[in-house]
Chains A and B, each alone.
Chain A
Amino acid sequence: MTKNPSYDHTIIPPCQAECPLHMDIREYVDLIAQGRVMEALQIIREGNPFPSICAYVCTHPCEDACRRGQVDNPIAIRALKKFAVKFGGDKMIRLEAETTHDEKVAIVGSGPAGLAAAYYLRKLGYPVSIFEAHSELGGMLRVGIPEYRLPREVLDIEVQRLIQMGAEIRTNSPVTSLNLLFDMKYKAIFVTVGAHQGLRLGIEGEESAGVVDGATFLREVNLGLKPPVGNRVGIVGGGNVAIDAARTSLRLGSREVKILYRRSREEMPADPNEIEQAIEEGVEILFLMAPIKIQSVNGQLDITCIRMEQEEPDASGRRRPAPVPGSEFHITLDDLITAIGQAPQVPKDFRLRIGRGSTIRVDPLTLTTNQKGIFAGGDAVTGPASVIQALATGKLAASRIDDYLRHRYPAISKEKRASMGDLLPRTIEMIRKFNRYEPPIRPSQERVKEFMPVELVYDWEGAVNEAKRCLHCGIGAEILSRDNCAACLTCLRICPYLAPFLDDRGEIQIAEDQCIACGICVTECPANAIAFRKPQEQRRVDEELEHVIESAAKSKSKPLIIGFCCQYGLYGTGALAGLWRETKAGIWIVPVLCIAKVESRHIVNAFKAGAEGVFIAGCDQQQCPRENTAFWTLQRMERSKKMLAQIGIEPERVQAFNLHASDKNLAEALDRFTQKIGELCLVSAFKKEMKK
């Protein structure tokens, strides 16, 4: 009855499925929960070309999909990434790329899509040149997003790394004709010029001085042009650009900033956090209101507004706003910023087919345009979208260009979809509730004075505790060996979350979408028929124990005490970190990912390897994010103690720490334990002598 160790039945979790880059979020969050932040960063870098940028500005569709949201609140994935980027030492990472191909690729536009395409093309070994009309790279990252959301230093570091990788940068180089690039021996071109043209309101007086569109306003601010803003500024629109413009105006010194939005707060497309922060800073949002006329009067703007009301939802479920007749009123402003959307502005000479909303038409799977060798992507194709989507497009473009240049039929990768259902109410009821822990933000009075980042980075404890909330979707338990399964129903009876069930044919199944990988059934299954979907989870304790035994054997330290210690939370990084340094005193730590995974066999094997004492230290039942872990661990421990006593090993040699939250001072309790072990050693040595 052996199992094939090479299986991997991991299910794509919703966070990963929803991430346009399909990053292995579950893995890096878990690493952060263990305090292994550098490894977490490594995973992040494998999936994302510019993690530090995403750490600040990602719209995190992963969090919207996160199933923890069904229990309390989603995991703060973006903030955790920011923590990993900062504490993992992302700044110090240098990248290199080798040129292995001759075909040069030109990238027109240096927004996130362009930069990502350059990054991945360099990794594929192509010479790459980036053409940027402005003086600095970044596109919307540079000219659109305000500095308090994305410090320029962060962007500069990523750009610098791209240069290290060998990308050629041509700033102040607006491209007017793509043919010219082909003439310059570029074999493929990726057009990613963004969507910078503000849409017009289409109302009377829009040309008045003091009326500006949001994209232009932000660009001017971001390029350091310091556009003058008055005390009273109005912004029209409800998206992120509107919020950015409002908060930027505050920072430039405006006293009264009003956002006019024609729908209600629920429909507002801007990030709810951003809206919240804007309100905190003093931005006033007037909902269900729209300007209908602008008049310039003595250097001031007289805006005629009208109240709106929401119609009944139409077929698409969207409620259209409609003006309330006779509800007009006036407000007086110094400036009005229109932020109701942007469109691409693609030079005619590019001769690309243009579709709805002035966007470039491409085949969405291959990003090919109507012209051979020309690919397009980013906001120029989709209209204004998120940074993470742009990065994903850039990555796709790189591989499609590679296919094209290598004369391969494009390998259409299947979309990674989550096959996980929602958590059932009874599962939700059993999952311990831990509220989302938000990273600290600077006080609003302080932050409106300057463009410093609003959100700060988690401290170590905050990040680890937040990461511990992850439900480990898709790596839970499965019945791996039907042949072994004795249908004993142990799993069904002991699962705190009621994930195992009997199907119509009376066979036991484990509902993969209800399992949160606590591991109790895996450890308790008397037939060894249940395994984690991710095999490493399974082998880890055995391997770590073996490793410790080997190292201890080399060091010949006596007496040998082996401790199975939970690596999650502060245990991994805090309290036990001290113990690691104690190895000289004979204490060796076997790190485990939750003590629920320690089996009786492991405890006994420690003694078999010559240990004089064994302890288990884990989070107490209040801190452990999973149910019943201490109960089962103690069950197994008592079982082992009983069996060990029968072969003459004193039960006092096995002890648990902190599982019941009683050992407030772990170090002290451990001292007492080691002292006890020392005494027991003496006694048994004495007995041996007597026997002789």
Chain B
Amino acid sequence: MAKSLFEEKLNSGKFIVTTEVGPQKGTDTSEMVHQINLLKDKVDAINITDHQSSVMRFPSLGGCLLVAELCGEPILQMTTRDRNRLALQADLLFAYSRGIKNVLCLTGDSIEVGDHKEAKSVFDLDSVQLIRMIRTMESGKDIAGGCLKGNVEFCIGATAHPSADFIEPQLIKFDKKVESGAQFIQTQGIFDLDALSRFMQYAHQFNVKILAGIILLASDRMATYMNNNVPGITVPPNIIEELACVEKDKGLKKGIEIAVRLIKTIKEENLCHGVHIMAVGREKLVPEILEEAGIMT
């Protein structure tokens, strides 16, 4: 029996679409609720980010609970940056108990890039160790060997970076994630489909579903800013040029066009198992993108 609805979909062989919602800073969840409602039936699962870019926000766990309450399928993003192994295990226990059964294991961005630069970064575990820890918990024990009351079962995801400039060490880490029990991979933003193809040639040997990360760009300025300031994202020059060529207020339109093109190609050429759309604050545009890309769930 599948651990979660999402796992079931992963195994169904259909083209998977996930997207993500970033919680707000503060307790007013109305915007998040609006976005979840808008997306929950259009995608296979919704990631809730975990202090994305190391900026303090409403917790991922809280966002996931909202998704569950609104009858969506949540993916709990969990970084090792802010919590040690005790806190991580405790949160996982709580998540499972409240029906959140998909988790994306991340190391997390550096504290340095966020808004609490003076904070202590934890990194008690890394993403590979986090995956293993969850698999250990599924065996009924915490990682100190103590017995757990009740079941724990997660559909575990991780990330990969197919367009990294030093790809080989990334592939080693990818191996470890899969060996440790990752069932799906949501990649970093992909713009270069050749890089994705090369990565897939390698990844096909593993029993893991690969969802290509699609970032919605709104302008060339945004792309340049991301290149300089957002870890793990590299927008290639040809995409920046493409964005720069259009009129000032047409940037977003162009961005949507690019995203749609990427998704279409990936799906039509069957490059990988699905896509993960990161709209970076423009979540309301995701349905439009999906529609244009011809994806209906």
Does a CB–CB distance below 8 Å link A and B in the complex?
Answer: no
